[in-house]
Amino acid sequence: MTSYLTDPGPGSGARTPARSRLHTDAPTLSLNGDWRFRLLSGAPGEVGAAGVLPAGEGVNDVARTDFDDASWNSIPVPSHWVLQGDGSYGAPIYTNVQFPFAIDAPNVPDENPTGDYRRTFELPAEWSDAAQVLLRFDGVESRYKVWVNGIEIGVGSGSRLAQEFDVTDAVATGENTIAVRVHQWSAASYVEDQDQWWLPGIFRDVTLQARPAGCIDDVWLRAGLGEDGSGLITPQLTASDAAFPVSLRVAELGVDVEWASPADIAPVRVDAVEPWSAETPRLYDAVVSSAGETVSLRLGFRTVRIEGDQFLVNGERVVFHGVNRHETHPDRGRVFDEEWTRADLALMKRFNVNAIRTSHYPPHPRVLDIADELGFWVILECDLETHGFERGGWAGNPSDDPAWRDAYLDRIERTVERDKNHPSIVMWSLGNESGTGQNLAAMSAWVHDRDPERPVHYEGDYTGAYTDVYSRMYSSVPETDAIGRDDSRSLLLGCTAPESARQRTKPFILCEYIHAMGNGPGAIDQYEDLVWQHPRLHGGFVWEWRDHGLRTREADGTEYFGYGGDFGEVVHDGNFVMDGMVLSDNTPSPGLHEYKQVVAPVRLAVTRGGDGALVLHIENRKHSADTGDLEFRWRVEADGVESSSGVVEVDAVVAGSRASVAMPALDVPDEGEVWLTVEAVLRDDAAWAPSGHGIVFTQVDLAPQRSTLTAPWLAASDVSSDVAAHLVLGPARFEHGQLVELAGQPVSGPRLELWRGPTDNDRGQGRGSYERIDPWLNNGNGEPAPAYDTIWREAGLDRLTPRIELVETGDTAVHVRRRWAAANSRDSVVTDERWQLVDGELWLRADITPTSGWDIVWPRVGLRFDLPGDVDAASWFGTGPLESYPDTRHAARVGRFEATRDTLTVSYSRPQETGHRSDVRSLTMQREGSDWLRMDAAPDASGRRPGFTLTRHTAQQLDAARHPHELPETGAAYLYVDAAQNGVGSRACGPDVWPDSMLRPEARTLTLRFSAP
């Protein structure tokens, strides 16, 4: 039996499509606020769902004006009911690909949570003269039915799309009653399987608008840019003859025209305009007036076109340094907040993000107003995803089923019509991960007809049958390089030879890449380098901008950010929803800092000229703006302490060009490591950051030949097999050769550590291992490979145990040899720990030597020291200030830094390896505000320096916990000194660690000096 819940169509009774979101002087009444609410366990009146209504209540009784809702609770609109009521209204569900109900399209389960909403409102007396009254819903999940004053108005569908209903004949001046029945599941749920929380309810604005006689139904002002700098306004108006005459005014440009009839409407040329771009988002206020209404818009003059394999805006190639942005907030879910959103987009600008893909639906319309104003290239995506059908070979996929054609076309029409006036939108996207088929092709044809000026994107169209750009997700570095080189030796993914040839003629973008889940992503620089090597590569969009954690509390009130599985879901996809470069608490991750440095619109380098003088090189990679907005500051530091600073005077460098400028003569200190740092900063305040905000930096070592710390060699004659029961060597005390105290405090170790708390990337299979890649087969993505953490566990790296093979002591030295291995493993690692007191200084040389059988990549190789729990801060000279790993080091600079123990690590949503600082020279640990112990590190024979991590939890404890609050109170601190770490990659849903950053088993040496301040 078919009902409106299982109807694959677009709903009924609504105006098709809803109008553009326009600023109007027409009377408008917001229905946001408190509504009466109840939650039913199923859909009343549906087959198999009997008994969900109270006894004696009819299916539609809720719509009656005299219906008694006094026993109902109150709920705010907009909101999601699962985030209200302290759990009494059900719970969120997170799935990535899976459907949280049986795959039986278009049917839905009997257990279908259904929310009934009611409220009254006063219609002003002056509305009695309105020609029409429209009721607009900007977002309701999932399908809903509307009544006004007991009259059924229609059925809405399309959760993230606006819908308007004509309620003129249903309303009256004075008190009115509106009732809305919202169902969590419907046929529409099968095409709204986006990677996000399922959050039902009326979650966007509800408004009434009085449409006066002679009003303007809709406006589209296309603002084009001529090659000579002129502007062309091409108006499209939807209005009755009674609305005319209609005028257009753009006061700043001197435009003031009036059209007496629809036939008179014509383009308006302006001699000179300032172009709109993401770098210079110049907007002009326009006003369109009729006899009954005035609407206002903001125009941005720009052109979008594709020439060959180049995507051009205003005639210049665009490089997308973008992010995929879901609408998410830890308390409100997808409910819009103006202040939050403006701050969110300003944060993007501060981290050199210049583009947004609205994954995977249109956002609240105000988001696009702000994008116009601050400046972003936007790919606006339709509210469409059917990913759950993929695992069945796309059997039954609505994308190729004629029964769903109307719904698909309705969704894309409503997407385009609502937001067509925004200059920030440079591409329309049909949706995401919905396979392919005739309905997607029909959507594309409709868009091309309606808006031929903006290209159509859809990643799933691998063969390029109906889209204008070649788009991919997570192609590996070798494959992306091959695509950029237009190498005809390989077929493109899913393509025949002719289809591959067609795709090679188009601009290429990575609509998702460098999956930013947990600690990572790595290899951002490799993708960025390819963009500037191959002009047909136009950058990409990081997956994704922000973690989707929902603020959650344990029974005792302990607060944490929940993810899949924390809400009793039957099926879920775990913490895969926590894959953003901004954490749920709004903290920018180290990965975002890395991204900012790599994709900066200006590149800096310092070299020495032939006369030895320093030269600053500036490359402007901006789209069209020069560097006049930037100031170039320098500073000189010796061993991390600033000795001098100043500003380099630089003439503005035009976009796409380079300049070299002589640095001023510098006073270089005679002692220590001396580093020059040059940073480009904002010269003046911007809408998104204050003056002085850093854009990018570079560093150069001004004294690379100066001597570094060297260690003595432990002579065999210094020790014997007669082991001293107690031995003090400077700040260290040993018992029977074992370290038990440093600087007067109990300490144990050093313990060999090959394990790290697996990162999300270590746990992922992603695109497989580069170790298995043939770059001309499998599209460079490799064969599936087990997750690293599985390989490492099987090798026993998380449970190595020692066997002492040798202990020797002397008056000034201790030598301990241990063999480390796991149960049921033939592979082992030998550590030779040689402690020696030389001229009053305590040295440790640790030689770490693996046996020859190892055939895996290691997560780390280093030593762990267990320290007192009151070691709570550290200062260091090395790289910082944030964590860094072999493939995430561009944002790390050499300097002197300090931090508390708990800020040295990142509170990722799932505990994992964090806090490693590379290339440490010296480290001073503190106890309760006072310096306690200093460690200096000497480079090894290859010049490599160790890194350090200071944390309150061991790698094994990080591994065992699902959330930060589940980590135990250890009462200890742990210092890891790593000779090396494996890279982090983006294997959670992307490529593996690049081979150059992989840690293969090999002998390593750590040489450390310990002293008490």
List the one residue out of 515, 516, 519 whose CA is nearest residue 911: 519
Radius of gyration of the chain (CA): 32
Rounded to whole angstroms, the Cα distance separating 109 from 101 reads 7
Crossing angle of the two packed helices 590-598 and 524-533, in degrees rounded to 10:
20
List the one residue out of 681, 675, 648, 644 whose CA is nearest residue 663: 648
Q: Across the strands, what pairs with 934?
A: 924, 1011
List the one residue out of 994, 977, 972 whose CA is nearest residue 985: 994
Q: Which amino acid is at 895?
A: G
Rounded to whole angstroms, the Cα distance separating 27 from 25 reads 6
SS3 state at 498: helix
64: left (phi over 0), alpha (psi -120 to 50) or beta: beta
Tell me which of 293, 327, 459, 512 is the catalytic residue. Answer: 512
Rounded to whole angstroms, the Cα distance separating 577 from 324 reads 13
Tokens of 767: 């695109």
Please report which residue ranges of 356-437 form alpha helices under DSSP H: 365-374, 405-419
Phi, psi dihedral angles at 722 (to 5 degrees): -80, 100
Residue 544 appears among annotated catalytic residues: no
Q: In whole angstroms, how far apart are CA 461 and each of 428, 979, 997?
A: 14, 46, 34
**Vertex 965, ends 959 and 969: CA angle to 5°?**
80
Give the count of alpha carbons within 13 A of 895, CB side only. Answer: 16
Residue 111 appears among annotated catalytic residues: no
Tokens of 160: 């993230």
Q: Is the Cα torsion angle 461, 466, 354, 650 positive or negative in sign?
A: positive
Tokens of 208: 């009434």
For residue 314, the 8-state DSSP code is: T
Rounded to whole angstroms, the Cα distance separating 352 from 530 reads 18
Phi, psi dihedral angles at 45 (to 5 degrees): 85, -5
Phi, psi dihedral angles at 413 (to 5 degrees): -60, -45
Rounded to whole angstroms, the Cα distance separating 313 from 722 reads 79
Q: What is the 3-state secondary structure (H, E, C) of 208-265?
A: EEEECCCCEEEEEEEEEECCCCCEEEEEEEEECHHHCCEEEEEHHHCEEEEECCHHHC
List the one residue out of 127, 128, 158 whose CA is nearest residue 143: 158
Rounded to whole angstroms, the Cα distance separating 113 from 133 reads 31
538: left (phi over 0), alpha (psi -120 to 50) or beta: alpha
Tell me which of 327, 433, 679, 808 is the catalytic residue. Answer: 433
List the one residue out of 527, 486, 489 whose CA is nearest residue 507: 486
Show which residues are catalytic. 433, 512
